[in-house]
Structure 1
Amino acid sequence: MSAQVSGLFRYPIKGLSRELLKSVTLQAGRGVCGDREFALALPATVFDEGNPQPLPKFQFLMLARQEALARLTTSYEPGTGLLSVTDGAQGWSADVRSAEGRGAIAAFFARFLPDDQKSSQPRLVTAANHRFTDVGVHSSELMQAISMLNLASVRDLETRIGKRLDPRRFRANILVEGLDPWVENEWLNRDLMLGTVRCKGVRLTRRCPATEVNPDNAIRDINVPQELMRCYGHIHLGIYLTVITAGMVGIGDKVTATC
């Protein structure tokens, strides 16, 4: 079968759950609209929303350190500014555009995190044309990059370690079926087509401790970076893309690499 897009996602708030997309309109040099638009800054983090600068991910709540975040199911409605959070059977909503709503969000996360993962009361931050991507500290191009995951590579790793790896561990924007395992590692500085959208491979995805966290129970149960190094001699799984020509990508669209 030909390679095709099998999943599309965005993550409105850094470290929190994904939202499923049926299609996405991509613009040249821009990431997925609404992806990593917000982050929960630690109390000591200095972030100027009027003059945003990329900061290391450890200055925000993140799964690599606060694995309890995986227990939460979240959704965000851009039209109303409403963030909804569910922890098991308990759910609540708050308006991210109001001071009262942001205060309620900060207070929840201060209460929610267990003592060994607490960082006092975080604050919700955002800024125009800014994304809280892990690799954004390296360049403005990477701040707007889109992450793609080859599911054949995930399955190859599963076979080698004898354990199932839910793709949610890898927090990708685009999942692709039908490729050969690890072919994405050959796509640096090469163009590829997602349907009619031309992209370029700009950086392999180095995997961090966030991938150790089981998305079903929020327990660290597989040391993915360690297993990658043991099996392949590197800790890469996935690739970051930058958009060259604008267009719409949908589930089922063909994925082809150019020569």
Structure 2
Amino acid sequence: MSGHVAAIFRHPVKGFTPEPLEAVQLAPGEGFPHDRVWAVENGPSGFDPAAPVFVPKQKFTVLAHIPKVAAARTRYDAETGVLHAAAPGAGEFAGRLAEASGREAFSAWLTLLLADDIRGPLRVVEAPGEHRFTDHALGQVSIVNLASVRDLGRRMGVELDPLRFRANLYVDGWPAWAENGWTGKRLMLGWAEAEVFKSIVRCAATHVDPTTAERDLDVTKALFDNYGHMLCGIYVRVASAGGVALGDAVTAPAAEPKPEAPQWA
């Protein structure tokens, strides 16, 4: 069963603007390139870059708790290392988050933008090495099946923006919800091989319209009401290195053959 890569996105700062890509190189044990390399603490998170471990998303400025995060339009220039940001009424920001001065300046800019929505001092933290601020410690690459999103949207009577689900790869051509049965299976992502780690349990971040920054739809309730679960998308771990580009085939696990009935003489 094959689909194709319809879109590729990275999210340099956790919770902020998805950035489209044409291609990406994936490798075992490495984070998705320039994805969730930074996060913004909403009060002390306990994250120690000298001994990085998984920190729950509740410790950061994320859409699940602060919809206005979507009002900040960010863009990362990987060649210069400069993050650009703009928002209505907040002016513009440009700075290098790899530098302490840039992280402090971005924290100050966000503090003015988010104002009363924050619960503690904001501080930008950087993921060392291959660590990433993903929603699951072992969620290396996230994939969303566009047919599943369309099916959910039809049942809700709306056109759902797939960007609500903040995936790295969006695949078209798979049957809706087929991915929920693939845990532990292998699949090809372009030229890279990966193993499906788990399905993604969705949260209130999907309730926020990525364009308007308004919490307008209860997506998690719709998932449960229509399917009896709150899953949409899968996490995979890369097993062998390779490139993935727009239009590349994404080959899903073949259905296991049914056992033949015994032949009686």
TM-score category of the 2 structures, normalised to the smaller one: over 0.9
Aligned amino acid, residue 100 of structure 1: S
Match of 1:207 in 2: 202
* Contact 1:76–1:84 (CA under 8 A) maintained in structure 2: yes
For the pair 1:27 / 2:27, whether they are aligned, the reply is yes
* Contact 1:109–1:121 (CA under 8 A) maintained in structure 2: no
For the pair 1:246 / 2:247, whether they are aligned, the reply is no
Match of 1:139 in 2: none
Aligned amino acid, residue 203 of structure 2: C
Q: CA deviation at 1:253?
A: 0.5
Provide the rounded CA distance (Å) in 1 between the counterparts of 2:194 and 2:29. 9
Larger Rg: 2
> How big is each residue's C-alpha offset from its partner over 1:62-83, in whole Å with a ceiling of 9 and x where there is no partner?
1100110111111112333211
Provide the rounded CA distance (Å) in 2 between the counterparts of 1:29 and 1:128. 11
For the pair 1:181 / 2:138, whether they are aligned, the reply is no
Match of 2:108 in 1: 107
Provide the rounded CA distance (Å) in 2 between the counterparts of 1:86 and 1:47. 27
* Contact 1:30–1:242 (CA under 8 A) maintained in structure 2: no
Provide the rounded CA distance (Å) in 1 between the counterparts of 2:53 and 2:234. 24
Identical aligned pairs, as a percentage? 40
* Contact 1:110–1:120 (CA under 8 A) maintained in structure 2: no
Alignment of 1:107-256 (within 5 A): 107-115=108-116, 117-126=117-126, 127-136=128-137, 142-143=138-139, 145-256=140-251
- In the alignment of these two chains, the number of paired residues is 252
* Contact 1:24–1:250 (CA under 8 A) maintained in structure 2: yes
Q: CA deviation at 1:97?
A: 2.7
Aligned structure 1 segments of 4 or more residues deviating by more than 3 angstroms: none
Provide the rounded CA distance (Å) in 2 between the counterparts of 1:55 and 1:75. 24
Aligned amino acid, residue 61 of structure 1: T
Alignment of 1:55-74 (within 5 A): 55-74=55-74
Provide the rounded CA distance (Å) in 1 between the counterparts of 2:7 and 2:229. 25
Q: Which runs of 5+ in 2 are unaligned?
A: 255-265
Cα distance change of structure 1 residues 98 and 256 upon mapping to structure 2, 3 Å threshold = closer
Provide the rounded CA distance (Å) in 2 between the counterparts of 1:207 and 1:5. 22
Q: CA deviation at 1:209?
A: 0.3
Counterpart of 1:159 in 2: which secondary structure? helix
Aligned amino acid, residue 185 of structure 2: R
Provide the rounded CA distance (Å) in 2 between the counterparts of 1:53 and 1:134. 12
Provide the rounded CA distance (Å) in 1 between the counterparts of 2:82 and 2:121. 20
* Contact 1:83–1:96 (CA under 8 A) maintained in structure 2: yes
Counterpart of 2:180 in 1: which secondary structure? helix
> How big is each residue's C-alpha offset from its partner over 1:15-70, in whole Å with a ceiling of 9 and x where there is no partner?
10111110000001323111111100122222211221211111111110011011
Q: CA deviation at 1:114?
A: 4.1
> How big is each residue's C-alpha offset from its partner over 1:180-235, in whole Å with a ceiling of 9 and x where there is no partner?
11111121111111122111111101000000001111111111110000000000
Report the aligned-residue RMSD: 1.5
* Contact 2:164–2:205 (CA under 8 A) maintained in structure 1: yes
Cα distance change of structure 1 residues 30 and 98 upon mapping to structure 2, 3 Å threshold = closer
Provide the rounded CA distance (Å) in 2 between the counterparts of 1:106 and 1:59. 15
Q: CA deviation at 1:2?
A: 5.0
Provide the rounded CA distance (Å) in 2 between the counterparts of 1:45 and 1:123. 9
* Contact 2:3–2:250 (CA under 8 A) maintained in structure 1: yes
Aligned amino acid, residue 125 of structure 1: V
Q: Which runs of 5+ in 1 are unaligned?
A: 137-141
